[in-house]
Amino acid sequence: LAQAYPETNKNCGIQVVPIDEEYTDRAIGSGKPQTLLILLGVVLAVLLIACVHVANLLIAKAAAREQEIAVRAALGAHRVRIVRQLLTESVLLAACGGLLGLLLAHVGIEVLSAARTRSIPWYVGSGGGGGAIPWFVDVHVDARMLLYVLGLSLLTCVLFGVLPAIGAAGIDVSRRLSTSRTWTAGARFRRLRSSLVIADIALAFVLLAGAGLLVNSYMRILRIDPRLNPRNVLTACVAFDWQRPPEPQQRLAIFQEALRRVRSLPGVQAVTASGYYSPTTGSFSTPSFQIEGRESTGEGVGIPCTEVFPGYFDLLQIPLLHGRSFTGHDDKTTPCVIVINEAMARRFWPNDDPVGKHIMDAAKSDSPPRMYEIVGVVGNVWHARYGLDEPELYAPYLQGGYPPEVFLMIRTSSDPAALSAAVRRELTAVAEGAAVDHIVPLEGEIAALFASERTNMVFLAAFAAAALLLASVGVYGTTAYAVSWRTHEIGIRMALGARRADVIRTVLGHSLRLTLGGILLGLTGALMVTRVISSLLHGVSPVDPLTFVCVSLLLAGAALLATYLPARRAASIDPMAAVSATPAPVIPPKNMLATTFTWASPPFR
C-alpha cells in the first residue's frame, strides 16, 4: 500500500508480533519480556541461598556424627553405603521441604489471584498491566507443577547433599576412633562452612541491592508531579462502535447532553471531556504539522494532539500561562484554534511569544491545508507514553470530527467513587447503544499506570527479605556451632584471665569478618548484576552508591544482631564447668598453650 499510494500511505506499515509475546508485553506493563526472567532469576537466587544454608547445616550435622560414621565404617560399612545413607536422609529432607513449599505455593497463588483481579486492565491492550502475572492466565497447582517441585527438590538434594555426604564418608577411621571427640572438626569443616556463609551473605547482598534500587525507583515514581490535580476527579468513558457510529452531529448532541446531565448530579462541581483517552495515558493521535516561519522539509512534525471540551484546563487545574483557553464559541463556524503546552513553545518559539502564531496541517490531500491559530499556552502535563517535557497541543473537540469516543472528567466535592453508580446511570440513559465503562477515580488510574513497577518491587523486596533472613540465620548457626565446639577452649581462656568483653569481641570479630567478606563479594556481583534491571529503574542509577551503602549497613547490622546471642552465651560460660568437661578442642593440643597465651596476653600485662 505504501508503494501503490505513496501520497497517503507513506511511512505506514505493519508490525507482526506473536500474540503470546504481545500479551506478555502488556501483562508486565513495561513492555520488556525480560522482567519475567529477572524475577525468575531472583527466585533461583533465593533457592540457591536456601540450598547453601542447608548444605551448611548438613556439614555441621556430618561433623557431629563423625564418630558414629567411623564406627559404621569400622564395622564394615562401605563408603558408598555411607554416602547412600546420608543422601537418603537428604532426600527425605528435600521431599518434605518440597511438599511444604507446594502447600505454601498454593496459598500464595490464591492470594495473588485475588490481588491481581483488582488490577486487571479496564480494556484489553491497556498499558496499565497489573504486574508480572498476566491477567488472562489461570495459574493453579497441577500435575506439572507437582512434578516440577519434586524434580527441583531432588536436584537441590543431589547438588547440595552430596558434598557433605562425601566429606563425612571420607573421615580417617583409626584417628577418629582413637579420640573421644574429633580434633579436626574445626580444621576440616571451618573453612568450608565459612565459605558458604560468605556466599550466603554475598547472594543476599545482590538481592538486597536490587530490591533497594527498585524501592528507590518506585519512590521516585510516586514523587512524579503530573502537573494536574487528580484529587476528587472521576473519569468515565463513553464509546460508540467505531464501525457503525451515529452521525457526527448526533454524536456531538449525545455527548453534550451527557455532560449536562452529569453536571446536574448532586456533589458535581464541574464536568468536561476529551477525545479518545484520559489525560494521563496520552493520545495516540499524532498528526503532522508545518510550523509557520520554519523551513518546510515536506515531512511535517508529528505532535501529540488531544481534542478537549471547554473547561478542560480549569477542571484539571492545568495552569494557563499565556493567552486564553477554549470556549463554547470555538466550533466549526469559527477559525481553527489550538492551545499548546510550554514544551512546544520552548522548542519552536524559544525567544518569542507563540500566541497569535500559526501552524498548518501537513497531511497531503487535494484540499488546501488547514490553518490553526495558537490562542494559548498551558503548563506541561505528565503522560505515561511520552513523559513530561514533550511538545503537545490541544484542539477544540467542537472543531474536530467528533470522534465516537470521549473521556469524561468529573470533579466532585467529596469521594468521587461514591458517584460511580449515578454517573453510569445517567450516561447509559443518554448514550443508548454506547459502551459506558472505566468509571474510576483519576488518582486510581494514575496509580494503576505503575502497577507493574509496584508488583516487581514487592516481589523483589519479599525475596530479598527472605534472603536477608536466611543469611542472618546462617551467620547465627555458624557462630553458635563454633561457640559450642569451643566451649572447653573458651573456659580455659577465661580461667587464664580473659574477660567477658574479650570473649564477646572475639566471637563478634570472627562473624563480622565473614560478613565483610560476603559484603565485598556481593558488592562485586551487584555492580554487574544490577545493570540487568536497569530497564526497570526510573531516575536511579543501577550502581547507586547510597543504595549500596544502606544495604551494606543493613547486612552488617543483621549479622551483628545474629552474632550477639551466641557471643553473649559464650561469655556466660562457667570456666570451671567448661574445663572439667570432656575437652573438645578444634586445634591440635601442641598449639593450645601458645594460642591461649597469645589470645589472653592483655590480661597478663
Ranges 89-93, 195-199, 446-450, 530-534: which has the least confidence: 446-450
**Hey, what amino acid is at 501?**
A
Helix/strand/coil for 145 = helix
Is 197 exposed, middle or buried (CB count within 10 Å of its CB: 0-12, 13-18, 19+)?
buried
Which range among 38-42, 192-196, 418-422 has the greatest average pLDDT? 418-422
Residue 579 belongs to what H/E stretch? helix 575-580
Percent of the chain scoring above 90 in pLDDT: 22
User: Mean pLDDT of all residues in the chain?
Assistant: 79
Give residue 503's pLDDT. Answer: 83
Written as nine digits, the cell of 551 is 544495604
Give residue 377's pLDDT. Answer: 96
pLDDT band at 341 (very low <50, low <70, confident <90, very high): very high
pLDDT at residue 5 greater than cutoff 80: no
Give residue 167's pLDDT. Answer: 64
pLDDT at residue 537 greater than cutoff 50: yes
pLDDT at residue 451 greater than cutoff 80: no
Helix/strand/coil for 330 = coil
Give residue 296's pLDDT. Answer: 58
**Hey, what amino acid is at 17?**
V
Give residue 342's pLDDT. Answer: 93
- State how far the alpha carbon of 75 is from the alpha carbons of 67, 82, 87, 176, in Å: 12, 12, 20, 14
pLDDT at residue 470 greater than cutoff 90: no
Name which of 247, 215, 268, 25 is nearest 127 in CA terms.
25
Give residue 99's pLDDT. Answer: 87
- Tell the residue number behind the cell numbers 534500587, with chain if given: 213
Give residue 579's pLDDT. Answer: 60
Give the count of alpha carbons within 13 A of 473, CB side only: 14
**Hey, what amino acid is at 201?**
I
Strands (E), 370-454: 371-378, 393-396, 405-412, 435-441
pLDDT at residue 130 greater than cutoff 50: no
Give residue 62's pLDDT. Answer: 72
pLDDT band at 227 (very low <50, low <70, confident <90, very high): confident
Give the count of alpha carbons within 13 A of 313, CB side only: 25
Between 106 and 591, name the one with better pLDDT.
Answer: 106
Give residue 54's pLDDT. Answer: 80
pLDDT at residue 163 greater than cutoff 50: yes
Name which of 355, 298, 438 is nearest 7 in CA terms.
298
Task: Quick: pLDDT tens for 55-101.
Answer: 877 777 776 677 777 777 777 777 788 778 878 888 888 888 888 88
Residue 553 belongs to what H/E stretch? helix 545-571
Between 197 and 356, name the one with better pLDDT.
Answer: 356
- State how far the alpha carbon of 236 is from the alpha carbons of 284, 426, 439, 450, in Å: 18, 11, 4, 20
Contact 460, 207 (CB under 8 A): yes
290 phi and psi, to 5 degrees?
-105, 130
